[in-house]
Chain A
């Protein structure tokens, strides 16, 4: 009888422990809503600057954006639950050594944010104005070195801040053909 009990116990125990490991219980299906916005970026490019001048650019877009395949505009704020969208920018400076434009890191103290905010990584945050329902950013770069520069906004996408309870929104910025993709300017003493 005891042998039978032991055998039954072994069978039951192996039955219990041979189940496969289940997938991670924390798996989350990320969803990002993809939209497009056209010509939201405005750059005050005078093409020629003096050291100490400030070059401004701004990117503003409505809280309500059209969506492909839908008859109603999408409320981006209510969907994402966040009042900030982020995008990056890059500035390049011509180098005679390489005869090409090289990326330039900008110290935070040379960046101004009249609307929205910007950090040391050249990451801009557009912030929703509740009065106008416009996500706004207006950033200034204080030009402290002479040289030839480029601002490249040809591939620009904005992303909503992370919210675990709501879908993310990604907005691709499209520039129309009559606007330049690369902006060249010169800074002189």
Chain B
């Protein structure tokens, strides 16, 4: 009786042992990545991500936006003026649905510090020309501002080449809290990223 029982127990333990073998092992803790989509627009984007637990990572991203990128008008200020961000720093926390060591869907919560320029609209002003006559002309002004904000994103990360190479796609949005509230949302940290884990 004991032998068959042990045999059955052994057979049943095989799938259970497989499950046990699939327990997550934290392999690589650090990751650098860059947004390839941004690079095609001339923007520079660098991210560092640190694995904290089986499902959680935290990191920071820095983006320097190019004029071509800003010309896409992906963000508004107060509903209508173009909000052209020059520099943005995004601390973030990610939750990987499957785990941090496998390809996985992730959800991201991010903060933002950004420096931007806002068009102040067209104004008219009068000056006196060289001949002493008055002239009215339009003035297209711009105002520099700094803002802090909050945002969120969702994406999927693939791990290739023995889990060293990272390829991920993400969609993210962010609103500024200092000057404007949730009325205006900008597109951030969106596109295809490639990176390396170590």
Contacts and interface: CB of A to CB of B under 8 A. Distances in A.
A31 B124 contact: yes
Determine the interface band of chain B, counting residues with CB < 8 A from chain A: 20 to 34
Given A33-B136, A79-B136, A9 B154 contact: yes
A22 B97 contact: no
B133 A73 contact: yes
A177 to B, nearest CB: 29
B83 to A, nearest CB: 11
A162 interface: no
A67 interface: yes
B8 interface: no
Contacts of A165: 138
A75 B134 contact: yes
B134 A67 contact: yes
25 contacts: A1-B97, A5-B97, A5-B105, A5-B107, A8-B107, A15-B182, A16-B185, A19-B184, A23-B79, A24-B80, A28-B122, A31-B124, A33-B136, A67-B134, A70-B134, A72-B132, A72-B133, A74-B134, A75-B133, A78-B135, A79-B135, A166-B137, A167-B136, A167-B137, A167-B138
Contacts of A15: 152, 182
A12 interface: yes
Contacts, number: 67
B122 A29 contact: yes
A27 interface: yes
A179 interface: no
Determine the interface band of chain A, counting residues with CB < 8 A from chain B: 20 to 34
Contacts of B183: 19-20
B80 A25 contact: yes
Given A23-B80, A29-B121, A167-B124, A73 B185 contact: no
Contacts of B79: 20, 22-23
Given A5-B97, A20-B79, A75 B135 contact: yes
A24 B79 CA distance: 9
A78 B129 contact: yes
A64 interface: yes
Contacts of B185: 16, 19
A78 B80 contact: no
Contacts of A27: 80
B189 to A, nearest CB: 14
B70 to A, nearest CB: 15
10 tightest A-B CB contacts, nearest first? A22-B79, A75-B133, A74-B134, A79-B136, A72-B134, A31-B124, A78-B135, A23-B80, A167-B136, A22-B80
